Amino acid sequence: MKISDQIAMCLQNLSRRKVRTALTTMGVVIGTCAIVVMISLGVGLQKSQEAMLAQMGDLTKIEIYNYSGGNGEGSIPNLDDSVIEQIAAYDHVDVITPVVQADWGKITIQCGDYQYSEGIYGVYPEALEKLGYELKEGKFPTGKEKEYTLLFGEYGPFSFYNPNGNGEWYDPYGGDDPPVDIFSDPITISVGNQDMEQNTKQPEQHEASVSGLLIGDWNKGYETVYGAFLSIDQLYELYQEYDEFNGISSSSSAAFNPRKINYDHVYVKVTDMKYVDEVETKIKDLGYDTYSMETVRKPMQEQANKMMLILGSLGGISLLVAAMGITNTMIMSIYERTREIGIMKVLGCVVGDIRTVFLMEAGLIGLGGGVIGVILSFAISLVLNMLGGGGLGGMMGGYYYGESGAGQISVIPIWLVGLALVFSTLIGLISGFSPANRAVKISALEAIKHE
């Protein structure tokens, strides 16, 4: 029997009993719809939580804290350039940069009569864009500039003050204009004088340029709002100049030796949040303390996965009932078509073809019910999202963190659609397997005599 003949016979048999087929299919529709909608609620919760966490911080960023300082010999090595290179070579690490905050008073940024009063941070400039920092104006420095190049946080220009003035400060939130124009006014950078009474010399004033201004984001760090970034190599140069200017010998503990630098703080950017735990574990194995949003995201994801499992199981009960309905329908069909089965056997029809026809009918009921169930699920999901407000993220903590609409209450991803169709079809095939085997075991002679 050709496959086309089997399909034609299958469709003909189902259409002859329209009401029974429709009622059986409806059971699959309800079961499929229940599973898809239930799991979509769990997916919606997970997406809402991730959106909420993303607003609180970068989900792919790891911060390394070298609280112990390392000893260079024991189990915790110095967090130096060699360790930075080692971590950078880990799989799934996108970019890494140390973050060195200049000691107060060691470096001075000057613009006319005004001095910069906030933190200065040494980093790898090429890492800034990959870390997710965004520009409000200008461009990111490359780290290859010959002159000193600065990148200011959004309100950095407001952090200049006149040390010889009346102590006036400029409020970026109160409508004040910044006291300097960082892009047009000449800016210099110099080292500090450790002992102004003993050392009457003036440090050299180096010309500096400003490449850009960042968009301030407290979730990405204070430095994006009020800080100033400088290439870490240029920061090294200034620190060495500071030591030389103030007569600090290289043997002194206060001296800055870039070859033996032991960083306190490092940023690591991972290619995808699913690899954060893997990379973070490797860094912790080196002995360093770390922080990432994974410490918050992972328990929340486990909670969402448990909820998806529970909701999916509840939906699965409906599909189990539908499977019983398919089995009952196929058994009744065999009883009604016993004589037809006998005739097919007498005419020389292959037993496997008879089994295939019945399995095809059961599978088609499952597939058809699955397709309709998925379409209905999308409609229900749309209604839930229209009525659900800010999504489960708001109900599960979004409002606590100040977020009122973290995502949709129901999310149906493509994988869930494919899973639902495959699962409903398998339910049909499995439910029809026993009746199909029963059909092929019927004696041809007895089947012909059957009324």
Instruction: Looking at the structure, tell me whether residues 90 and 139 fall in a common domain.
Output: yes
Among 294, 317, 345, the domain-final residue is 294
Q: In angstroms, rounded to a whole number, what is the distance separating the alpha carbons of residues 202 and 345?
A: 109
Instruction: Looking at the structure, tell me whether residues 222 and 339 fall in a common domain.
Output: no
Question: What was the pLDDT predicted at 279?
Answer: 93
Instruction: Looking at the structure, tell me whether residues 34 and 80 fall in a common domain.
Output: no
Helix axes 414-440, 351-387, angle to 10 degrees: 150
Question: What was the pLDDT predicted at 345?
Answer: 64
Instruction: Looking at the structure, tell me whether residues 147 and 227 fall in a common domain.
Output: yes
Instruction: Looking at the structure, tell me whether residues 229 and 210 fall in a common domain.
Output: yes
Expressed as residue numbers, the domain containing 108 is 61-294
Question: How does DSSP classify residue 317?
Answer: H
Instruction: Looking at the structure, tell me whether residues 317 and 229 fall in a common domain.
Output: no
User: Consecutive 10-residue runs of the chain (451 residues): their mean pLDDT?
Assistant: 68 75 85 87 80 73 78 68 91 92 88 89 91 92 90 92 76 79 92 69 89 89 90 89 80 52 88 90 90 78 77 75 77 67 64 74 86 92 78 41 54 90 87 72 56 53
> Strands 148-152, 228-231: parallel, antiparallel or unpaired by DSSP?
antiparallel
Look at the chain and report how many structural domains it folds into: 2
The pTM is what?
0.64
Among 253, 273, 294, the domain-final residue is 294
- List of E strands, 271-367: 289-292
Rounded to 5°, the CA angle 222-224-226 comes to 65
Instruction: Looking at the structure, tell me whether residues 200 and 258 fall in a common domain.
Output: yes
Instruction: Looking at the structure, tell me whether residues 395 and 263 fall in a common domain.
Output: no
Instruction: Looking at the structure, tell me whether residues 328 and 390 fall in a common domain.
Output: yes
Instruction: Looking at the structure, tell me whether residues 265 and 337 fall in a common domain.
Output: no
Q: Answer for the pair 6, 360: CB distance below 8 angstroms, yes or no.
A: yes
Question: What was the pLDDT predicted at 342?
Answer: 65
Instruction: Looking at the structure, tell me whether residues 200 and 220 fall in a common domain.
Output: yes
Instruction: Looking at the structure, tell me whether residues 35 and 159 fall in a common domain.
Output: no
Euclidean distance between the first and the last CA atom of the chain, given in angstroms as a whole number: 26
Question: What was the pLDDT predicted at 6?
Answer: 67
Question: What was the pLDDT predicted at 444?
Answer: 56
Among 268, 294, 320, the domain-final residue is 294
CA dihedral 334→340→342→346, nearest 10 degrees, is: -150
Q: In angstroms, rounded to a whole number, what is the distance separating the alpha carbons of residues 413 and 36?
A: 10
Length of the chain: 451
Q: Is 119 helix (H, G, I), strand (E, B) or coil?
A: coil
Count helices and strands (H / E) in the chain.
Answer: 12, 14
423: how many CB neighbours lie within 10 A of its CB? Answer: 18
With residue 431 as reference, give the H or E element that holds it: helix 414-440
